[in-house]
């Protein structure tokens, strides 16, 4: 009897049976077992992105106070916005190329520090050209941050679009917080209050540098390989540019539309802008979750398809609370593909994640600000409502371009 009970330890055979586990269990373990570590790192990168883009959002928030305190003309004021846009958009693809070819992990920390220092000192300079150069340097700091941080965030997020959406949503949070934090300080102390925004940049730079040292000591950075697919990446860049035009258009004219067309108070117009920006944060996070469930390309197409009815609702509802709801929903739909476009760009250029982040987070996002003067001409002729109505051409273009995007995994498998 004892001899019969000894052979029973056959459970060793199922535990040693590796056939069902490796393909699925190993693929899913990082999202469950290592999930707390991943989300902790993504929260750090999301906060850093929020601080960096805070300085990009502070430029339009401070320009009116330069006009009031320094008596700058409207041309001079628009020159400050142009300086920030030039500094933050044009250099980013080239910085991305440098990040992919050299070890420049410290560049994210340096970028945040320069962005905060440039904008913080701008309000203390008496000369217009000194202010212009400092805002240009602040924009350059923003440009330095995105490719390096985008590459590091992708390494931390892995293949999870939801995790990557935390990093992307940080930028939307920064834009949202800029007028909220700047307006009370600028009203109380004038443009010299920009100096109050230097400490967040210094603290964020310190945290990123310390994280970089720990990362280098723990393990070398991961290297992604694969064939770069420039044609779909070019289409994706066009989608991002078109989306950026719509974002800057609504962001610029939504308050004026509320005041001039709906005859609302300035407080209610500010609430409309707040709803639009808050919807952008929620849409960025929701887009990452959707992409993990229905696919990245479908999420991009869904955002483009929903944009037109939301924009129509914003312009056609007569008043009350309905326009505020549509302002929120417009922000959600407009930003639904934001994080997805960042990750999708890095999937199309697996060997150049820094370049992809520089284009999708930098050039593609900021170029809408360069086209906004055209919307200004339309607004001069037909009012803010006419400028917003002209954005109705954007969703069909974005949807048509989205239909040309291939899902990365489906085409790479046969090629492999």
Look at residue 154 and tell me whether its pLDDT is greater than 90.
no
User: Is there a single domain that holds both residue 56 and residue 145?
Assistant: yes
User: Is there a single domain that holds both residue 207 and residue 255?
Assistant: no
- Give which of 208, 253, 204 is closest to 375, Cα–Cα: 253
- Give which of 236, 230, 241, 215 is closest to 350, Cα–Cα: 230
User: Is there a single domain that holds both residue 380 and residue 294?
Assistant: yes
Residue 340, domain CATH: 1.20.1250.20
pLDDT tens, residue by residue, 83-105: 888 888 888 888 888 888 887 77
pLDDT tens, residue by residue, 223-280: 555 688 889 999 999 998 888 888 888 887 888 888 888 888 877 887 888 889 889 8
Work out the average pLDDT over 396-410: 87
pLDDT tens, residue by residue, 51-78: 999 998 898 888 878 888 888 886 787 7
User: Is there a single domain that holds both residue 219 and residue 231?
Assistant: no
Domain count, the chain: 2
Look at residue 126 and tell me whether its pLDDT is greater than 60.
yes
For residue 24, being part of any structural domain is answered with no
Task: State the residue range of the domain holding 255.
Answer: 226-416
User: Is there a single domain that holds both residue 251 and residue 332?
Assistant: yes
pLDDT of residue 35: 61
Look at residue 116 and tell me whether its pLDDT is greater than 90.
yes
**pLDDT higher at 329 or 211:** 329
pLDDT band at 30 (very low <50, low <70, confident <90, very high): very low
For residue 29, being part of any structural domain is answered with no
User: Is there a single domain that holds both residue 102 and residue 245?
Assistant: no
pLDDT band at 19 (very low <50, low <70, confident <90, very high): very low
For residue 22, being part of any structural domain is answered with no
User: Is there a single domain that holds both residue 278 and residue 199?
Assistant: no
How much is the CA Rg of the chain, to the nearest whole Å?
24
User: Is there a single domain that holds both residue 209 and residue 233?
Assistant: no
Look at residue 34 and tell me whether its pLDDT is greater than 60.
no
User: Is there a single domain that holds both residue 400 and residue 321?
Assistant: yes
pLDDT band at 29 (very low <50, low <70, confident <90, very high): very low
pLDDT of residue 368: 73
- Give which of 225, 4, 204, 235 is closest to 114, Cα–Cα: 204
For residue 230, being part of any structural domain is answered with yes
Phi/psi region, residue 221 (left: phi>0; alpha: psi -120 to 50; beta: rest), is: beta
pTM value is 0.74
User: Is there a single domain that holds both residue 216 and residue 315?
Assistant: no
């Amino acid at each position: 009897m004892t001899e019969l009970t000894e052979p029973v330890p056959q459970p060793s055979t199922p535990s040693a049976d590796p056939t069902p586990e490796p393909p699925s269990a190993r693929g899913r373990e990082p999202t469950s077992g290592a999930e707390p570590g991943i989300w902790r790192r993504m929260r750090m990168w999301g906060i850093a992105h929020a601080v960096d883009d805070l300085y990009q959002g502070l430029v339009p928030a401070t320009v009116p106070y330069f006009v009031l305190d320094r008596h700058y003309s409207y041309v001079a004021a628009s020159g400050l916005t142009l300086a920030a846009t030039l500094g933050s958009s044009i250099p980013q693809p080239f910085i991305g190329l440098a990040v992919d070819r050299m070890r420049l992990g410290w560049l994210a920390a340096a970028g945040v520090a320069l962005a905060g220092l440039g904008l913080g000192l701008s309000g203390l300079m008496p000369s217009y050209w000194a202010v212009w150069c400092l805002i240009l340097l602040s924009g350059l700091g923003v440009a330095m941050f995105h490719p390096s941080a985008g590459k590091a965030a992708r390494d931390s997020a892995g293949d999870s679009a939801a995790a990557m959406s935390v990093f992307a949503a940080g930028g939307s949070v920064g834009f949202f917080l800029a007028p909220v934090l700047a307006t009370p300080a600028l009203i109380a102390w004038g443009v010299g209050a920009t100096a109050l925004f230097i400490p967040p940049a210094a603290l964020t730079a310190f945290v990123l540098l310390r994280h970089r040292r720990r990362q280098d000591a723990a393990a070398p950075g991961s290297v992604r390989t694969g064939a770069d697919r420039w044609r779909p990446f070019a289409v994706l860049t066009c989608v991002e540019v078109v989306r950026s035009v719509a974002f800057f258009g609504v962001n610029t004219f939504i308050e004026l539309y509320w005041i001039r067309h709906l005859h609302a108070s300035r407080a209610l117009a500010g609430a409309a802008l707040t709803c639009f920006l808050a919807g952008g944060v929620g849409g960025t996070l929701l887009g990452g979750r959707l992409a993990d469930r229905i696919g990245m390309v479908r999420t991009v197409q869904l955002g483009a398809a929903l944009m037109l009815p939301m924009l129509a609702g914003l312009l056609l509802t007569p008043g009350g609370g309905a326009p505020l709801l549509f302002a929120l929903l417009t922000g959600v739909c407009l930003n639904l593909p934001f994080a997805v476009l960042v990750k999708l760009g890095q999937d199309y250029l697996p060997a150049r994640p820094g370049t992809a982040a520089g284009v999708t987070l930098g050039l593609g996002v900021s170029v809408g600000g360069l086209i906004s003067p055209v919307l200004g001409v339309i607004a001069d002729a037909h009012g803010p409502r006419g400028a917003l109505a002209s954005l109705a051409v954007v969703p069909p273009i974005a949807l048509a371009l989205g239909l040309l995007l291939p899902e990365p995994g489906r085409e790479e498998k046969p090629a492999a």
